Amino acid sequence: MNRIKQKLQEDKKILSIYFSAGYPNLNDTVKIIQDLEKNGVDLIEIGLPFSDPLADGPTIQESSTTALKNGMNTVLLFEQLKDIRKSVSIPLILMGYFNPVLQYGVEEFCAKCEEIGIDGLILPDLPLNVYKEEYEAIFKKHGLINVFLITPQTSDERIKAIDNASEGFIYMVSSASTTGAKQGFGAEQTNYFDRIAQMNLNNPQIVGFGISNSETFEQATQNTKGAIIGSAFIKHLTKNGVDKIGDFVKQIR
């Protein structure tokens, strides 16, 4: 069974951490993954850096730019990850923009992911209809779960369509914003979380955007399966390098 699905069956709230591959240093990727697993994180999103990350705020823009300057690219990331399954069993997701995947070749990319032991992909600018028409069969053939996003503006009808097309979890963007733009949650988020909870979707939801500490993690996971931290973790890496990953995870839960 796909590691993501297996993890989602556990009776616990999921803590997912995102980082940009190749940041802060080109060869930190494997150590970051190993330390996150060691410190009890449930799921990891490995960011494939892109030159024009238009859904990301300044923190992830900068970590992507630095990663690219460090020399990160798709071929190199796969090379770094080739033995990752010898040392970790945590579910791994690659997250990035669609163009680098398209240039690598979608079929080749998915095959490589399967070979390495990647469990899912998040490609925010690969739209639902294009995925269904052109790529779903390829993803499935290689055992990859495709994760879709929803936002407070997504209509109920579309959320249902996304739920039907999903088979792991739904990435619930907490507010109308780019990554790292807002801190904490207000009434709008509470209403939105309640609304989604009442829809009784097939897939569990994991909340992303705006989660940076134990308080926001608690709030976000009250009615959902888990939460994703990205920008706050990148900031921690910027400040502390890769040596104190445990400190960061412990302050979340």
Residue 51's closest CA among 61, 37, 43, 59?
Answer: 61
Identity of the residue, 148 or 248, whose beta carbon is nearer to another protein in the bound complex: 148
Identity of the residue, 113 or 252, whose beta carbon is nearer to another protein in the bound complex: 113
Residue 201 to residue 23: CA distance in whole angstroms: 36
Catalytic entry in 28, 35, 42, 56: 56
Min CB(131)–another protein separation in Å:
11
Min CB(124)–another protein separation in Å:
4
Min CB(155)–another protein separation in Å:
7
Residue 24: strand, helix, or coil? coil
Omega before 91 within 30 of 0, i.e. cis: no
Catalytic entry in 35, 37, 42, 45: 45
Note if 62 is an active site residue: no
- Which 8-state DSSP code applies to residue 148? P
Q: How many residues does the chain have?
A: 253
Residue 202 to residue 97: CA distance in whole angstroms: 26
17: tokens are: 């951490």
Note if 45 is an active site residue: yes
Site residues (vs another protein, CB under 8 A): 50-55, 57-58, 61, 65, 68, 73-75, 97-104, 124-127, 130, 148-151, 153-155, 158, 173, 176-178, 181
Where do runs of H (alpha helix) occur along the chain? 3-9, 29-38, 58-70, 74-81, 84-87, 98-104, 106-116, 128-130, 136-141, 156-165, 187-198, 214-221, 231-240, 245-252
Identity of the residue, 90 or 170, whose beta carbon is nearer to another protein in the bound complex: 170
Identity of the residue, 30 or 149, whose beta carbon is nearer to another protein in the bound complex: 149
Min CB(195)–another protein separation in Å:
15
Min CB(62)–another protein separation in Å:
8
Q: Are 162 and 154 in contact (CB under 8 A)?
A: yes
| Exposure string over 39-67, b if 16+ CB within 10 A, otherwise e | bebbbbbbbbbbeebeebbebbbbbbbbb
Min CB(152)–another protein separation in Å:
9
Identity of the residue, 11 or 52, whose beta carbon is nearer to another protein in the bound complex: 52
CB-neighbour burial class of residue 77 (10 A; exposed 0-12, middle 13-18, buried 19+): buried
Identity of the residue, 50 or 217, whose beta carbon is nearer to another protein in the bound complex: 50
By annotation, the residues acting in catalysis are 45, 56
